[in-house]
Each structure stands twice: as C-alpha cells, then as structure tokens.
Structure 1
Amino acid sequence: MATRKMTSRSLLRSLWRRTRSEADEDTEAGRAIVMPVQHVAAPLRQVTRRLVMALAVLGVTTLLVYLDRAGYNDNSDGRVDFLDSAYYATVTLSTTGYGDITPVSDGARLTNIFVVTPLRVLFLIILVGTTLEVLTERTRQQVRIHRWRSRMRDHTVVVGYGTKGRHAIETLIGQGKPKDKIVVVDPQKKVVDAAAGDGLVAVLGDGTRSDTLLRAELQRATQVVICTERDDTAALVTLTARQINKHATIVVAVREDENVPLLRQSGANTVVTSSSSAGRLLGMSMMSPNVGTVLEDLLTYGNGLDVVERPVTKREAGHGPRDCEDLVVAVVRGHRLLHFTDADAAKLQPTDRVITIKKAAVPAGD
C-alpha cells in the first residue's frame, strides 16, 4: 500500500482548515500552567490524617469526661454514661453547647478549663486548617505561577513532549541547561502531568494558538524546539512562534523533506527531517554497522563520544584546528561554517567557535 505523503500544497490546505476550525475555540486547555510536582502528601492522605487527628482529640475528650462522670450532671436522667460522655465531648468541641449536660463539680470544671478547652481549640484548628488548605491551594498555585513568570528569561520552549521532545530535553539537560529554564507545551493532559512529574514547567494547550505560547513566556525565550507529530502543526506553530518572538532560535522536526523549504520560510532556523535522518542512519548501518554505532553514539549525549560547540581558547587562537586538544571537525566564524580542512580555517581566530568531538564526561560517583 502506497504511503501517503503530506506535500507542501496539502500542508497549506491543512493549515487553512485547522485555522478556520480553531478560530472560535476557547477552551481551558490554553490556560493551564502545570508547575513541577512537589513532594507533598496526596490530598486524600492529608484529609485522612487530619480526620484521624480530630477523632483522636474527640476520643481523648470523651475518655476524660467518662472518667470524671461523677462531676457532671445530665438534666434528663441525672447520670452520665459513656454515650453521654461522647455526646458531651462532641457538642463541646464543636462549640455547640446545648447545656443539657454540664460540669458541676470543681474537678470537672477545672478539667474543662485546662484540658477540654485546649482540646477544643486544637479540634477547631484541625478542622479550620483543613478547610483553609483546600481554599488556599489555588491561591498558592497562582502565586507560584506569578513568581515563575516574573523571573523567566532566556529559556527554552519545547512544543511537544513525545519521543522527540523528551530526547531533545534530555540532551539540553545533559549540556547543562537547567530544568527550570525549560518549558513544555503539549495539548494532552496526561503528557503535561508527566512533564510536571519530571520536574518541568508545562503548559496545557494547543501550540498553534498564540495565547498558549504566550503563557509559556515564548516572547522572552531564546530557543524554541518544535517536535509535533504532524508537519502542518509544526508549520503553524513555527509561524505563530516567529510572530511572537522575532529573535529566538527555532528548531523544527518534520517528517517529509519537501516541507523543509516551507518551514524555513515560516521562520525556522533549523529544520531536521526525522524520516530522512533515520533512513540515512539505517543505510549507513547496513553498509557498516560500526559506522552506524559511532553515529548513534555521537547523537546520544553523555555516552561515549559527544559533539559539542565551544569558543576558541586563548591558547588555541592563532593555531590550526589540528593543534587543539579536542578533535575539531568544523569552525564557526561569524555566520560561516567552515570545514576543518578549509583554507580559511587553517588559523583559528579568538572570536571563532569550534565544533569538536570529545569523550563524554563521566558522571560524579561513577
């Protein structure tokens, strides 16, 4: 069965249909920001713990009243049994106080002053604290989001947290990018929750919508990585992102080679064709499995060999690429990319950057 390809023309038609169909949509998905998961007890567990504490206070109060039942008077029958003690403890701790059971002896009254009253306060603190915690959770979340927005600068926005997005983030973190400088955008709630569980700030919403990207603070980002499943979605996200931020570096992954020019025209700085790249790696692995293994090693940051870009050191300036400690494969001079055998790259300049292959750093403790 022939594989259906998404050409540039069909991609444009799909973009038009998506834009028309989404013009009137206004869902909560574009408004949700999920902060990294904090290691706190689950809400049900917190409520259960507080309920157990309240019951414990009620039980202690009931026991105290029952042990001193001779000092209490029940207006109905004149005596206080265990049920009456539980009833008195309940109405007293809840500050209801019907007055049908009252302490009459000095000992019972002293117990109410110094023991029952503090227990009543503790009981109310437990109940009110639980209520306030539930009511203020939303406020605390809003404060966290406001604080995050106020300090978010020069970060990386990753649209799509699938296989490509996860590996892109792993590489960024491996190269020293802090987790708090990475924001994930994805339309699926479970994916966003997974990103938050991994310690990342995540925005739930459609990346093709400007309000979603604005909530990810894309206007102040320096890098945008677009890893959507469809090429038409990637093109629309690229157009929206470039409209919001004119200076950010945008890297996009697409499936079809013929959509690369359209993505570049949409504002992408770099377009990676995932299917073609995988095909080339497969072909090279067939011809030479060792070559495929080395290339896979180079593409996997933190294992074996790594490809890194770094500035030229003072000691290396004025010398050739072969004189560097690392294996230099290319030289970046301004906006030019020079092969290490290029005559212009024979002498490194202080403002150059070099792309090198070096041994991956061994994690601490290994």
Structure 2
Amino acid sequence: MNRHIRSQIWRQFLVPISALILILIVGILGYIFIEGYTPLNALYMMVITFATIGYGEPQPLDAEGRVFTILLIIAGFTAGFYAIGKLSSFLLEGELAKLLKIKRMNTALENMKNHYIVCGYGKTGKRVMEDLLRTGKKVVLIESNPERNEKLKDFYDKNLVHIIGDATNDEILIQAGIERAKILIAVLTSDAENLFVTLSAKDLNKDIKVITRVEDASSAAKFRKAGTDFIISQIDLASDRIVSLATSTTDFFSFVELTDGKEELRDYKFRLVEIRSGSDLIGKTYREANIPQRTNLVVIGCYSADSDLQVNPKADDVISLGDRLLVFGKDDEITLLKKIGKEPK
C-alpha cells in the first residue's frame, strides 16, 4: 500500500525532475565541448547559472557559449516554473491530502477485523452505513458511482473506510478485507449485481454472513442457492410497514392520503382489483394465491360481496368470485394482477 503511495508521488514529479536533470547534463556537456571547460568548471557554471548568483564565468565565453547559456537559462526557468506549478498543485489542490487520506485508509484497513462491508451508497446503503457508524461499528463502504463518491469526499468518521470501486470485482472485495470481515451487506442497484457480490463474497470467505436486498421477490430462491444468509425483500418490508400503519390508524383513508404525498412512494398507487370469473385465484387461500410473489404487490385488504373492507386478510382466508382486493404497488404490477384476476383493462 505504501509502495502505491510512493509511486503516485513519483508519477506527479517524474516529468519536471527528469527535465531538470536533462538540462543539467546537457549544460555540463555543452560547456565542456563548446567552451572547453573542465567537468568541475562546467558544473560550477551550471550551478551559478541556475542559481542566478552571478559570480562570473570561470573563463570568458565566446558568442556560441553565450547563445548556449541563454538557451540554458530559458530552458531552466521553464522547467523550474513547471516544477513549482506541479508542487503548488500537489500541495494546494488537495493531491497530497488525498494521498495521505488513502494511506490512512489503507492502514486502517490492514488493522480491521470483524468489520461490516456495505456495497452501495444509495438511499438504503447510506442509511445502513450511518446506523452502523452510530452504534460504533467499523464499516468499509464500496461505491463506484462518481456522484455518490463526490458526496462522500468530505465525510469523515474514524470507523469508516471508503473504497472507490466496483463491489463485483474480487480485487475490491479483497481490498475491503473480505477475508477478515464479519458481515457483508449488498444493496447495489440491481439483483444481478447483488447476486454476483454474494457469490464472490462466499467464495472469498465461506464464514462471512451476507445480507442482501432483493428487488424481485421471485429471485429469492437464486440468492438462497448462492449462499445469502439473510434476504431483505422491499415488498415484504413495505407490506409489514403498510399493514402496521393501516391497522393502527383510526381512519385508513387518511393513511392513504398521507402516503400519496411521500416522494419515495410517488410511483406506487392504491387500487381495487376485482376477481372475475375464470381467474385461477378463485377458491384459493391467500397463501396459495401467492400474490406478492407473482406480482410484487402488497395486498392491503379485501372487499367481499357481504362485508366491508377487511384489512390485512389472513393467509388462510379464501378468495371468492367478486372479491375486490385493495393492493399497493406500481402500475405494471397492478395491470398484471388485473390480468390474473380476469378484470377487463
């Protein structure tokens, strides 16, 4: 790791240092061959020229020697100003601070053990990271999105190490200390990415516990086969939360009005879907109908032909012809349930 830091610093100053050394060598050789100086006198001439001391030449210069000296001064000043510019940029524009931060992070990583690796800094990842840090846990956050990494640039916590990279890359996971980590939490954008991270994590450390967010409930079986220890389904969480709120609210429809105003729920809607003749849902219990897994919808309640709204129907309740299911989800998911329920579009 320290070798990497040194190589970064060396790359910053390779060109200006090489230019100055080249000018020095050319100057010494030039004075030897053009003016017949001894190597010591040629070196002395180069030093007083570069230092602009003006002690005087070891011996008088002819016209060619003066032209050569003028060119050396121009080249020397150009290379010197370039070197000063690189040094100023390195010190004032944060390059040095960035490299020192990387060094501190690498040192912290080497000492980390039984830590938590969070893959993804979206809304969920941000909340998970902050909650873990609040409880004093050591966290390694992996994020590849430039905009999200920019937001993290000035964030500091003694227990946080931020790695810029793709969590699906084994080298990044190894850099994050996957072999010594306690838990990996995969909350990346897609199920495919989260599945890949799960497979890699279990391959690199069979003892690590993996918690994975699943967008599509039908993908849960694949994650279990991949070795995921805990699967978090947004649809299940939403269902529990919504039913909890709905059943503890005096006026259910005031709850509906409240959720309609939430930014994070703007793509979700409440709809009544009627079960018509020919639907395979008729005569099945809610457990057998498996609506959340088939459609990703949350079933809030049911209007039957002989009763008012029944909130949070039981798993063993039977769906009958003419039942109107109150569901919560996106348009395409509602359309799918209408198709299953044989309701005309």
- Tell me which structure has the larger Cα radius of gyration: 2
* TM-score class normalised by the smaller sequence: 0.3 to 0.5
Higher relative contact order (CA 8 A, sep 6+): 1
TM-score (norm 1): 0.42
TM-score (norm 2): 0.44
